[in-house]
């Protein structure tokens, strides 16, 4: 049986826009599209959310590794840009830039860069995932089932 993780959600109130209320862990925020794509640019796009997940995972993985090794890792900044190249396979590309602070040796820095490329989200994106999509009951159907 698969691990049971916290669920993430996206709710569209049905008002015709592209703004969504996203739930991720304990956080709630708006996701949207840029104005030129028909949105209001009120929040990150879905691709930006994936990029942010990759940046967060790489950062946390390097931090945990350095802590376990007792390395003097200071601040860490990871930036991820998403691009599409229709001539490439696969067309989606994530460009990761890492900035490490602290009195680390060249060998420690190189190892942390390897560790960044081994974070779980990086492995997920490179390896792919199985996705199963199923339609749940409509709100009125769920309500009808709960009424005696």
Residue 50 to residues 91, 113, 122, Cα–Cα distance (Å): 15, 20, 10
Per-residue pLDDT tens listing for the chain (148 residues):
456 678 899 999 988 899 999 999 999 999 999 999 999 999 999 999 999 999 999 999 999 999 999 999 999 999 999 999 999 999 999 999 999 999 999 999 999 999 999 999 999 999 999 999 999 887 766 555 555 5
pTM of the model: 0.86
Long-range Cβ contacts of 11-16 (<8 Å, 24+ apart): none
Is the peptide bond preceding residue 79 cis, with omega within 30 degrees of 0? no
DSSP annotation of 70 reads T
At residue 6, the pLDDT reads: 82
Q: Using CA atoms of 75, 61, 82, 31 in order, give the dihedral in degrees to the nearest 10.
A: -90
């Amino acid at each position: 049986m698969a691990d049971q993780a916290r669920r993430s959600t996206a709710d569209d109130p049905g008002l015709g826009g592209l703004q969504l209320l996203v739930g991720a862990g304990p956080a709630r925020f708006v996701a949207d599209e840029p104005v030129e794509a028909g949105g209001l640019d009120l929040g990150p796009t879905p691709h930006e959310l994936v990029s942010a997940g990759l940046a967060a995972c790489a950062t946390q993985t390097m931090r945990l590794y350095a802590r376990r090794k007792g390395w003097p890792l200071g601040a860490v900044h990871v930036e991820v840009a998403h691009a599409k190249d229709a001539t490439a396979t696969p067309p989606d590309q994530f460009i990761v830039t890492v900035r490490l602070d602290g009195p680390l040796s060249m060998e420690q820095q190189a190892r942390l860069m390897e560790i960044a490329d081994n974070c779980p989200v990086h492995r997920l994106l490179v390896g792919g995932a199985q996705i199963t999509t199923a339609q749940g009951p409509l709100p009125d159907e769920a309500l009808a089932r709960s009424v005696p």
